[in-house]
Structure 1
Amino acid sequence: DEVLGDLQPVIEELGSSNSASRRHAAERVRRLAKSSTRISMTLVKMGAITPLIAMLDASANDKGVQHTALLALLSLAIGTNVNKAAIVTAGAVPKMVKLSQESGGTVQEGLAAVFLSLSALDVNKPVIGHSGAVPALINILKQGASLKAKKDALKALCNLSIFHGNVKVIVDANIIQSLLDMIYHPELVETAVDLLGNLAATEVGRRAIVDKQDAVLILVDVLGWADAPQCQEKAVSVLMTMAYRSRALRQAISRCGAVSALLELSILGSSLAQKVAAWILDCLKQD
């Protein structure tokens, strides 16, 4: 295969002592990996990952090399779980965490995108969550130079929260108030509520949410967003999780004036929202 025959020189160039040559090779890896999953997997088998990770250690004045290496790793990760696992196993995450502490702008955007892709694989979630990535992602979420970086960081955190062993790490990083604030950001609200829902599925997550004075009130407020039915569904689902787990939480929901909002949602909401709202109302009546 003529294309596959061209790959060995690319791998060799990744290990060049010349920065411009390494960057050129990383760009070629990015393009080749995007062109075919078979080529992407072959590049990994031939050893592309290790030199790309090494490029993340480039000097602070060579952000172009770092960004290009991140984009190459992203292209290798997309579309193949084998490559996602291989990138994490090869030690990319600690390098990415270190890089996040030293960088901004396009490098942060690249980091968020790679973390998002890698965190989609279940076997990677515990490793990423306990490698210092959570504070790095929260920093991008709060300080990210672009909306895309913020969205990718938030989605990556949402992926990580699916593994319950990561919830305490996420909660301990003081993210709850930021998530509540993001509920009023039109581009971030759905993922923010998804993440709250994942956290609420655990005891430590529920406690952290309820400890924020306005948390339940904000979620109840979302129930009235008739022009955002998906947000209503997500918010009422979080409240359902909380109501199911604790009588004290059901009482907190009632005190926030949720009954009228739930009644309205049970009549005028989407099919799913109606069912969930009716279930919560039934729970509240039993108390």
Structure 2
Amino acid sequence: MSLCTSQRPIMPDSSSSSSPPPPCSPIWLLPHIKLHFFARIRRFLRLKAARKRCGSSGGVDVASSTARGVNNEVVVQALERESEDESAVLQRSVKKLHFGSWLEKEMAVKEIEKLAREDGKTRKFLAQLGVIPVLVAMAASEVATQRRVAVTALIELANGTYTNKALMLEAGILSKLPQNIDTVDELTRREFAELLLSLSSLANNTQFPLASSESTLPFLLSILQSSSSVETKELCLGTTYNISTVLDHAGALVSSGFLQTLLTLSTTKELSEKALATLGHLVVTLMGKKAMENSPMVPESLIEILTWEDKPKCQELSAYILMILGHQNSTQRERMAKSGIVQVLLEVSLLGSPLAQKRAIKLLQWFKDERQANMRPHSGPQTGRIAMGSPVNPREAQEGKKMMKNLVKQSLYKNMEVITRRANIAAVHSSSKLKALVISTSSKSLPY
């Protein structure tokens, strides 16, 4: 039995220039009909806007009006031809993408990439025509050229469009990531990393299925641990940073081995800032903090980053992580002190950025309070505890305080000399500045 028997016949409309499609159109014609409809709508809107622009200016005399009328007609015809050409390219490309051979599909994808680069409306219109699922399927092709052009087109379609990104995730683009990056070339790695970075902007939403994806984190980690280019690793670090903004993802990142990799990359100046920013998200979680405390690279690598005077942002992030690790943790502060952090903090507190100075001073205050607490019950002048039979001479007590103050000033002056040598400050300027600082410094502001 024919499928057309249950449908009402559609009578042709004599007022219309084109007859509607027959009620029993084959299934494969439906996308073409939809494409033709959208093309006519776009053409109508463009011609309408062109006529409105051309007819908005008023005339003064008949001759000028006639001339403008001719010019307007020429503009309208030119826009009409342009619209017809673009619509023809669009129709042809989408039709070949859906029903063409593999070679035709590849050529169609290149045309779609050019069209998607125009504006946001074109990108949304292409998504409405159903090109995204086909491109996502092509992204997993075994043919390198087809896979590359498909990923490039997806990058253009995802540019600035939330809906298109959600459609790509819904079509399963995360499952199309290469499971073994050794099988793809460097350019393909970079393009996949760029597309993944664009999609990771949805990490704060439920549309980004990180938990259900088995290839996203292994793909990122394998590139970060490989010999890929710095540009490709930067893209992957940006994706990792976006994922780490959701604290629920911290457990998956730590258990996958990202923390140690991020610590290793943080020692590379080109990648340090993004790696430290991601570590700053992980360290505020319980699992991330414990893993960082047990790492053999902590705190030495973070203290080394504090000495990077040409990377103030890295100094700020490193000081922030050290503050989180050392907060109410005497064991970590003891490890930091043995690693020589106090001298480095002195340098940062004088020569670092305002934020780095603030964090360095806070850390120094912790070490100062802890040192005073350790020294008070053992040795040194004790206030409030006077031995029986030993009268206190006010003159001797004053001389003792003066002597202690001189010793502390000498110790601080030596530290300042070390700082000036490392900072390569001019000798005359630094000497006068540091001497003035030593004279005006009291024992209450010392880090010990």
Q: 1:35 aligns with which of 118, 122, 147?
A: 118
The match for 2:260 among 172, 177, 192 is: 177
Secondary structure of 2:205's aligned partner: helix
Alignment of 1:100-179 (within 5 A): 100=181, 102-121=183-202, 122-123=204-205, 126-128=208-210, 130-132=212-214, 133-143=216-226, 145-179=228-262
1:35-72 CA-to-partner distances (Å, cap 9, x unmatched) read 2112112211221210001102322xx11110111111
Aligned Cα RMSD in Å?
2.3
User: Structure 2 unaligned runs (5+)?
Assistant: 1-41, 43-82, 371-448
Q: Which amino acid aligns with 1:237?
A: Y
Sequence identity of aligned pairs in percent? 29
Cross-structure match for 2:174: 93
In structure 2, relative to structure 1, the CA distance for the partners of 1:126 and 1:55 (3 Å cut) is closer
- Does residue 262 of structure 2 align to residue 188 of structure 1? no
Q: Is the 8 A contact 1:26 1:72 kept in 2?
A: yes
Is contact 1:85–1:124 with CA below 8 Å preserved after alignment?
A: no
Tell me the equivalent position of 1:49. Answer: 132
Work out whether 1:278 is the aligned partner of 2:322: no
| Residue 13 (str. 1) matches residue 96 (str. 2) | yes
1:234 to 1:19, Cα distance in 2 relative to 1, 3 A: same
* Alpha-carbon spacing, 1:124–1:216, altered in 2? closer, same or farther (3 Å): farther
Shift of 1:173: 1.8
Q: CA shift at 1:114, angstroms?
A: 0.8
Describe the shift of the 1:227–1:129 C-alpha distance in structure 2 as closer, same or farther (beyond 3 A).
Answer: farther
Aligned counterpart, 1:225: 308
Residue of structure 1 aligned with 2:158, choices 77, 100, 109: 77
Relative distance call for 1:257 and 1:105 in structure 2 (3 A) is same
Residue 106 of structure 2 is aligned to residue 23 of structure 1: yes
Letter in 2 for 1:12: K
Deviations, residues 69-102 of structure 1 (Å, cap 9, x unaligned)? 1111111112222222221122111122547585
Q: 2:408 is matched with which residue?
A: none
Measure the CA separation in 1 of the matches of 2:109 and 2:192: 16
Structure of greater relative contact order (alpha carbons < 8 Å, 6+ residues apart): 1
Question: Is the CA contact (8 Å cut-off) linking 2:221 and 2:258 kept in structure 1?
Answer: yes
Matched, 1:63 2:139: no
Distance 1:95 1:84 in 2: 15
Match of 1:262 among 326, 345, 348: 345
Quickly say closer, same or farther: Cα 1:77–1:231, change in 2 above 3 A: same
Residue 198 (structure 1) aligned with residue 295 (structure 2): no
* Closer, same or farther: CA 85–286 of 1 in aligned 2, 3 Å: farther
Q: 1:57 to 1:16 in 2, by over 3 A?
A: farther
- 1:88, 1:124 within 8 Å by CA — same for their partners in 2? no
Deviation of 1:140 (Å): 1.5
| Structure 1: segments with no counterpart, 5+ residues | none
SS state at 1:143 partner: coil
Normalised to the residue count of structure 1, the TM-score between the two structures is: 0.89
Superposed displacement of residue 113, structure 1? 0.8
**Counterpart Cα distance in 1 of 2:348 and 2:121:** 49
Measure, in 1, the Cα distance between the counterparts of 2:339 and 2:234. 30
* Alpha-carbon spacing, 1:181–1:212, altered in 2? closer, same or farther (3 Å): same
CA contact (8 A) 1:194 1:234 kept: yes
Which of structures 1 and 2 has the bigger CA Rg? 2
The structure 1 segments of at least 4 consecutive aligned residues displaced by more than 6 Å after TM superposition are: none
Q: Which amino acid aligns with 1:19?
A: W
Is contact 1:126–1:166 with CA below 8 Å preserved after alignment?
no
Residue 75 of structure 2 is matched in structure 1 by none
SS at match of 2:278: helix
Residue 212 (structure 1) aligned with residue 292 (structure 2): no
| 1:259 partner letter | V
